[in-house]
Amino acid sequence: TKMMEDRAEQFKRTPERVQRELEERLRKNLAQRGEFSRVHALPQSSQDVSDETESRLVVLGTDHAWSKDKGSEAEQLARQILEQRGNQPRIYRNTLVFLVADRARVQDLADGVRKYLAWQSILDDKDGLNLTPFQVRQAENQRKMADDAVTARIPEVWCYLLEPQQATPQSTIEFTATRLAGPDALAVRAWKRLSKDERLVPLYAGTNLRRDMVRVPLWRGDHVAVSDLVDYYARYP
C-alpha cells in the first residue's frame, strides 16, 4: 500500500498518462449513444463538432468542467461551439446539447485513476519486486477495487446537461443546467432525461406541428415545404 501511494504520487508528474486512461474509459462508456445520431466526445474546439440537422450530444472534457459560477469553462466552450463551426457561424444550433463534468468532483476522479494505475504498475513489476503469491493476489484485489471505483465515479462526474434555450428571437441564448442520475450509460441517461421532459422529441405529433405553424409565421403564401420545416427546427432554438 505504501508503494502504491508513492507511485500514485509519481503519476501527478505525468498527468497526460492519467488523462489518457480517463479518456479511454469515457469513450468506452459513450459507445452506447442512446438514440442520438452521434456523440461528439471531448472536442477541443468548435471545429470538431459538425454542423448537421440531426440531434447530437457533445461531451466536454474535464478541462472544461462546469460550476455554478456564471461563465464557467464548460459554458464558455459550449457557447463557442453553439455559435461557431471553426471560423464560420453555426447554422443548425437547435441540434446540440452538452454533457459536462462537475468541477467539484474532477479531483476525486483523477485521484482514483492514479490509484488504479499505481496498482497496475505494481502488478506489471511483480517479478522485479519479488512479490509473493499472496502479495500478488492482494495487489490484484486492490486493483479491481480501484478499477470499480473509477468506473463508478465517471457518471458521478459527468452529471450535468447544458441545454441552450432562447425565449424569443431577440433574446440571448441561455444555458440551463440539469443534473442527471441513473444506472445507464452517459448518453443513454441524457437521452432518457431529455425525452422524458419533452425537451428532445423523437416523434412530433401533427397537432404540435400545427400549433407551431399557427404561432410562428412559417408560411410562404399558402404552403411551407417539409424540407423548410426540418431546416427551421434545426436552426432556431
> pLDDT tier at 40 (50, 70, 90 boundaries)?
very high
> pLDDT tier at 144 (50, 70, 90 boundaries)?
very high
**Burial code of 199-217, b = ≥16 C-beta within 10 A, e = fewer?**
ebeeeeeeeeeeeeeeeee
3-state helix, strand, coil in the chain (%, to 5): 55, 15, 30
> pLDDT tier at 50 (50, 70, 90 boundaries)?
very high
Report how far residue 43's alpha carbon sits from residue 25's, in angstroms, rounded to the nearest whole number. 16
pLDDT at position 86, please? 94
Q: What angle do the packed helices 2-10 and 103-124 form, to 10 degrees?
A: 120
* pLDDT, averaged across the chain: 94
3 state SS of 57: strand
Judged against a pLDDT cut of 80, whether residue 44 lies above it is answered with: yes
pLDDT at position 217, please? 82
Residue 51 near residue 87, CB atoms below 8 Å: no
Tens digits of per-residue pLDDT, 81-110?
Answer: 999 999 999 999 999 999 999 999 999 999
Q: Which residue has the cell 474509459?
A: 25
Lowest mean pLDDT among 13-22, 113-122, 129-138, 163-172: 163-172
